[in-house]
Amino acid sequence: MVLVLVALSLVIPGCGWPGQNGEGGVQEELPPAPEAGPAPGEPSLGEGELSAHFIDVGQGDSILLRLPNGESVLIDAGDNGASSTVIAYLKVQGIAHIHHLIATHPHADHIGGMAAVIREFSVGEVYMPRTSHTTITYERLLLAIQEKGLRITEARAGVTMLDEPGLRASFLAPFPREGLSLNDSSAVLKVEYGSVSLLFTGDAEAESEGHMLLSSSMSPRADILKAGHHGSQSSSSEVFLEAVSPSIAIISAGEGNSYGHPHKEVLERLQGMKVEILRTDLHGTIVITTGGESFSVKTERESPG
């Protein structure tokens, strides 16, 4: 990534979320080459473009990646009640087959909607960290995987999901350790397209961040960071943020959630580093589109603040 310091915010009237009359979307373009990307919910994707859709699923995570090679990736599927939102969003995007499905870790706000997604779509590879969890939600997911005869690939540091000229996706974590919490066992995926990089951290907390920093095999540096654990102060440690050095941090959290996510300590850390913050609880669904050089951001709503 050559550039990218100051993001220019533009309100584009009439570019809002389909069905929300009169509400303008927000487009941010980073110089030098503004790239037109699809607004949230719009299915179009230009040739040679990668888009990352941080779907507003309330308190939880669900991220759709549409890759320039035509493949799709779904990272998490929100809580149980979010499955219809995720399924509808993928259908609007014209997704029939999910090439790579990633369950970052077994907590319900990440995998609750996934069994329904698996039943609804054709699915290729499933990636999960090697953990165990005894909830009905997790068992339901494993059952759906089994019923479809899908193969599970262990997500762990060093596993490469995709490696093509100019496009690479690999797991930076977890580093399996005794006594690792479920959050710190989160699959962390780094996607690099051209000179643009994106880091998806699930609910990885400071311990996993520390493992990533100590690893010499792959740098966590990324232009776009999906901040860990919904912006909890147990994640996004200062040293980790400095190493990632993102231009934009995306926080996926539910409006008025009972955890107080995102925590003000994390917001202050990011602000102190001049990282632009985008939040699904404020902005709704957030879409980042890149042709591999610069990237553009569109949000479902303009932030009320």
- State the Cα–Cα distance between residues 263 and 280, nearest whole angstrom: 14
In the complex, what is the shortest distance from the CB of residue 24 to Zn ion, in angstroms, rounded to a whole number?
A: 30
Instruction: Tell me which of 29, 79, 109, 276 binds Zn ion, using CB under 5 A.
Output: 109
Q: Convert residues 50-89 into a mask of x (bound to Zn ion by CB under 5 A) and - (unbound).
A: ----------------------------------------
Nearest to 252 by CA among 227, 216, 225, 289: 227
- Closest to Zn ion by CB, 109 vs 207, is 109
In the complex, what is the shortest distance from the CB of residue 262 to Zn ion, in angstroms, rounded to a whole number?
A: 12
User: The dihedral of CA 250, 252, 255, 259: what is its sign?
Assistant: negative
User: The dihedral of CA 23, 11, 232, 75: what is its sign?
Assistant: positive
In the complex, what is the shortest distance from the CB of residue 98 to Zn ion, in angstroms, rounded to a whole number?
A: 20
145, burial (CB in 10 Å: exposed 0-12, middle 13-18, buried 19+)? buried
In the complex, what is the shortest distance from the CB of residue 184 to Zn ion, in angstroms, rounded to a whole number?
A: 12
- Closest to Zn ion by CB, 75 vs 270, is 75
- Closest to Zn ion by CB, 49 vs 109, is 109
Site for Zn ion in 185-204 (CB under 5 A): 203
Asked if residue 148 lies in contact with residue 123, where contact means CB atoms within 8 angstroms, the answer is yes
Q: What are phi and psi of 282, to 5 degrees?
A: -105, -40
In the complex, what is the shortest distance from the CB of residue 301 to Zn ion, in angstroms, rounded to a whole number?
A: 22
Site for Zn ion in 203-232 (CB under 5 A): 203
- Closest to Zn ion by CB, 57 vs 282, is 57
- Closest to Zn ion by CB, 183 vs 197, is 183
- Closest to Zn ion by CB, 109 vs 223, is 109
In the complex, what is the shortest distance from the CB of residue 157 to Zn ion, in angstroms, rounded to a whole number?
A: 20
| DSSP per-residue codes, 173-221 | E----TT--TGGG--EEEEEETTEEEEE-TT--HHHHHHHHH-SSS---
Residues interacting with Zn ion, by CB under 5 A? Answer: 109, 203
